[in-house]
Structures are given as structure tokens and as C-alpha cells.
């Protein structure tokens, strides 16, 4: 029997059981409390499932506890899309490839005018969205971030300054910035303009979202752009429908309605979930492909309907080439 809320509506053990929030450094993610301790995080930027885990959510941030942090998953990850590009450990010495002037480790303290911390070269060309995140201390002045698209020969590709909104000089302030540079020769440089700023950084990282959807026609690859349209609840807790469009080059649009749930419905005692897809507008001769979030352990996948699973030439993907409904079921380790 399903649990009920204070107004007697059925719930999934969490009310609301579908909502949007800042989650693991990403804004406006869709979190789904599917039931049986299983959670799902859907990314509207890619229109694909980003993470599935068994456990709960540590709710942090302005809405939850007035902190500068953001909510994170706790428990056992069942599947997760690639995300981290690199992170700088809080250590006594810099890793190979990093450069520094007037910067000391174990908290990365900047000393003196013009102190800099420079990353190695990294590739942003294959990522749909790229973000830079870090924590900073000191309200005396901002830290400046400069981006290079040519391996550090020039630093005019993009720049921005930190927020410094902390309530005191000892409070760590979380920063989150979108990087617009797309280059195989990307670098980032942190610059402290004045020594009196006494800046310190920690948890420096670059992460992003790789495109999840692709398409191919009779003449080769077809450009596809996912466009998020929102979600709707059916009878409050029966199911959730995630709605989005896949806009193909030339303006052709495929409408998608995706409904994720546990295998067997709410309360099922298994490490498995099902995703139902309803497509409308797939052009003749075009095959759509959804790259699936890699599982954390061995899994079994089944597909029913007008679709197939392809597991060679890279990560597994779900290929769809016709209108209609199909279902993808994923079981981690055959259940528990």
C-alpha cells in the first residue's frame, strides 16, 4: 500500500517525490524518489538520466540550511554518467602539469600581488556543458579566472571574477561558473590581483556533461539538440512523465515522453529500474541513439518495443528508429 501525504494523496515515501534543485554542482536537476530507497537524477541539459543510486540525499544549500553547499547523493551508486574532467586535490604540493607563483598548498593560499595558479591543458571540445567550481575564503577582493583556448599562449578566451559573498573572511564560499571555451587546448588560470586579498581556494574542479543524444541518417551523422519541456505527474504518485524534444538539423522535431520507475513499480525489492519512452516525429531513415549512464557493477539490460541496445564501439546506447513506445529495463547484478 502506498504511503500518503497529509492531504491523503499517495506518495513514494517522499513528498514531493519529484522536484528540481541544485544537485552535485548542477542547477535545476530533476530528482526522483522512485521508492524502495532508490533515487534518480535526470539532467534537463542533456535530457538523459545522470545518476541512479540506492540511499538518500544530503540536502544542502540556501533553501535547506542556509549554507553555501549544494545537495549530494548518499549511498550506493547504481549508474552514473561521466562527469569529472579534473579536480585539484588539497595537498601540500601541486600535481604534475600545474603551475604556480605565490601559491602554497594545503588550502592553496595566494600571497602577494599577481599570485597565480595555472592548470594543465585539458580538452573541452567533446563536452556539451563545462563548469568550473571551487570554494574560496576572504571577502577583501575577488579571485579572477582567466581561460585560454590555445594552451596558455593567450588568456582572452573568457574571464570572470568570484562572488566573495561569504558572511565572514573565514567562511568558505562556493563558486560555480559556466565555461564557454570549447578547445582541446583549454587551460584555466586563477589570479589574485592584490596581496591584501589573502585568497585561499579548495575543492577546485572542472566537470561537465557530454552529449547523451545523437542521430544518424542515410547520409551520415545528423545534428541533434535536446530541448527540455518539463515534467508532469500522473495521479500524483502513479508515475512521472519527463517531456522533451529532440530538434534535428533542418528544424525537424522529435517529441519524447520518458517515464522512469522501479522494476515492478514502487516498493519493488530489486536493484533495477525501467524507463519507458514514447516517441513521435522520428523521420524515416533517421536513427536516434541515447548513450546510457554506465552502471557501477555488472548489469543486465532488456529492451521491448521498437528499439535495440548496442554495446560495441564505446558506451552502451539505446537506438530508436521509429515512432511508438519502447521500454528499457536495467538490473544491477540481477537484483538483490
Q: 229-269, pLDDT tens digit by residue?
A: 999 999 989 999 999 999 999 889 999 999 999 986 444 44
Least Cα distance to 120 among 97, 141, 143, 88 occurs for 97
pLDDT at 14 over 90: no
Computed from CA positions of residues 49, 51, 52, 57, in that sequence, does the dihedral angle turn out positive or negative?
negative
Residue-wise pLDDT for 73-132, tens only, equals 999 999 999 999 999 999 999 999 999 999 998 889 999 999 999 999 999 999 999 999
Mean pLDDT across 224-231: 97
Residue 193 region by backbone torsions, left for phi larger than 0, else alpha for psi between -120 and 50, else beta: alpha
E strands along 97-235, which residues? 99-101, 103-104, 109-110, 115-118, 129-137, 144-148, 158-161, 173-179, 187-192, 200-209, 213-217, 220-222, 224-234
Q: Which residues are within 8 A (CB) of 93 and not within 5 positions of it... i.e. 6 or more apart?
A: 105
**Is the pTM higher than 0.75?**
yes
**Helix, strand or coil for residue 106?**
coil
Show Cβ contacts of residue 284 under 8 Å, excluding neighbours closer than 6 positions: none
Mean pLDDT value across residues 12-18: 87
- 126: region left, alpha or beta (phi > 0 left; psi from -120 to 50 alpha): alpha
Q: What is the pLDDT of residue 233?
A: 95
Flag the least confident range among 26-30, 166-170, 303-307.
166-170
Among candidate residues 55, 9, 8, 16, the one with its CA nearest the CA of residue 32: 16
| CA 174 – CA 23 distance, rounded (Å) | 13
Q: Give dist(CA 244, CA 37) in Å, integer.
A: 27
Amino acid at each position: 500500500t502506498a504511503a500518503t501525504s497529509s492531504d491523503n494523496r499517495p506518495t513514494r515515501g517522499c513528498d514531493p517525490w519529484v522536484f528540481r534543485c541544485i544537485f552535485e554542482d548542477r542547477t535545476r536537476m530533476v530528482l526522483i524518489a522512485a521508492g524502495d530507497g532508490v533515487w534518480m537524477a535526470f539532467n534537463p541539459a542533456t535530457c538523459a538520466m545522470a545518476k541512479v543510486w540506492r540511499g538518500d540525499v544530503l540536502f544542502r544549500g540556501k533553501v535547506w540550511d542556509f549554507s553555501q553547499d549544494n545537495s549530494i547523493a548518499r549511498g550506493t551508486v547504481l549508474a552514473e554518467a561521466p562527469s569529472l574532467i579534473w579536480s585539484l586535490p588539497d595537498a601540500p604540493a601541486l600535481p604534475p602539469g600545474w603551475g604556480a607563483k605565490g601559491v602554497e598548498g594545503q588550502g592553496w593560499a595566494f600571497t602577494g600581488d599577481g599570485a597565480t595558479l595555472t592548470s594543465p591543458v585539458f580538452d573541452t571540445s567533446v563536452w556539451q556543458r563545462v563548469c568550473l567550481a571551487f570554494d574560496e575564503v576572504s571577502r577583501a577582493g575577488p579571485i579572477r579566472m582567466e581561460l585560454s583556448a590555445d594552451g596558455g599562449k593567450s588568456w582572452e578566451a573568457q574571464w570572470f571574477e568570484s562572488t566573495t559573498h561569504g558572511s565572514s573572511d573565514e567562511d568558505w564560499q562556493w563558486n560555480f561558473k559556466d565555461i564557454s571555451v570549447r578547445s582541446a587546448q583549454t587551460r584555466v588560470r586563477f589570479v589574485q590581483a592584490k596581496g591584501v586579498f589573502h585568497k585561499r581556494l579548495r575543492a577546485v574542479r572542472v566537470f561537465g556533461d557530454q552529449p547523451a543524444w545523437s542521430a544518424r541518417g542515410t547520409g551520415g551523422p545528423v545534428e541533434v539538440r535536446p530541448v527540455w519541456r518539463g515534467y508532469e505527474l500522473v495521479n500524483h504518485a502513479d508515475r512521472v512523465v519527463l517531456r522533451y524534444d529532440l530538434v534535428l538539423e533542418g528544424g525537424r522535431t522529435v517529441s519524447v515522453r520518458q517515464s522512469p520507475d522501479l522494476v515492478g513499480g514502487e516498493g519493488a525489492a530489486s536493484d533495477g529500474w525501467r524507463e519507458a519512452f514514447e516517441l513521435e516525429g522520428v523521420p524515416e531513415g533517421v536513427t536516434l541513439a541515447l548513450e546510457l549512464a554506465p552502471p557501477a557493477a555488472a548489469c543486465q539490460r532488456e529492451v521491448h518495443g521498437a528499439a535495440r541496445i548496442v554495446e560495441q564501439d564505446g558506451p552502451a546506447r539505446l537506438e530508436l528508429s521509429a515512432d511508438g513506445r519502447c521500454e528499457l529495463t536495467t538490473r544491477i547484478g540481477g537484483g538483490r
